[in-house]
């Protein structure tokens, strides 16, 4: 047999084995469990980086961060706050109306007793 042909067959067999190993490795990487684990690890790393950046930002500008948190809290609680202020306004209005009624009654009683 020709040595060049034999060398080519050996090279083909080596290349085929290398290709099969690469295919097995890719198959392992593309399994759903592996993909999910890799995605989870990546998300954890990204979340940790974002949290670290947020902490740094708050340390640099605590008043601005406090203002932003307060604005978000007011936005979230806008309906309960609106209801509270309406009730306070109604209570004040009803107290003013009761005070006026009491004054009118006192005025009538004073006129009647004279």
Q: Say if 81 falls within a structural domain.
A: yes
Give a yes or no: residue 11 inside a domain: no
Pairwise CA distance, residues 51 & 44, whole Å: 10
The reply to whether 17 falls in a domain is: no
What is residue 19's predicted lDDT score, i.e. its pLDDT? 95
Query: 77: left (phi > 0), else alpha (psi -120 to 50), else beta?
Result: alpha
Would you say residue 31 lies in a domain?
Answer: no
Q: What is the pLDDT along the chain (114 residues), one digit of tens a residue?
A: 788 999 999 999 999 999 999 999 999 888 888 889 989 999 999 999 999 998 898 899 999 989 999 999 999 999 988 898 888 888 877 765 566 666 666 656 656 555
Structure tokens at 49: 């980086």
Degrees to nearest 5, angle at CA 29 with 32 and 44: 70
Q: Please state the domain count of the chain.
A: 1
Within-domain flag for 36: no
Write down the pLDDT at residue 112.
57
The predicted structure's pLDDT at residue 43 = 92
Q: Is residue 92 part of a domain?
A: yes
State which residues form the domain around 113. Answer: 77-114
- Whether 72 is in a domain gets the answer no
Instruction: Report if residue 26 sits inside a domain.
Output: no
């Amino acid at each position: 047999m020709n040595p060049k042909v034999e060398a080519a067959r050996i090279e083909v067999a080596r290349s085929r084995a290398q290709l099969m190993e690469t295919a097995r490795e890719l198959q392992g990487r593309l399994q759903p469990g592996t993909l999910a684990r890799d995605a989870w690890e990546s998300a954890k790393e990204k979340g940790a980086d974002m949290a670290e950046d947020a902490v740094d930002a708050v340390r640099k500008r605590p008043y601005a961060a406090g203002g932003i948190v307060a604005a978000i809290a007011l936005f979230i609680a806008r309906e309960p706050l609106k209801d509270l202020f309406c009730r306070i306004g109604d209570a004040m209005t009803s107290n003013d109306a009761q005070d006026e009624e009491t004054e009118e009654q006192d005025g009538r009683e004073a006129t009647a007793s004279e």
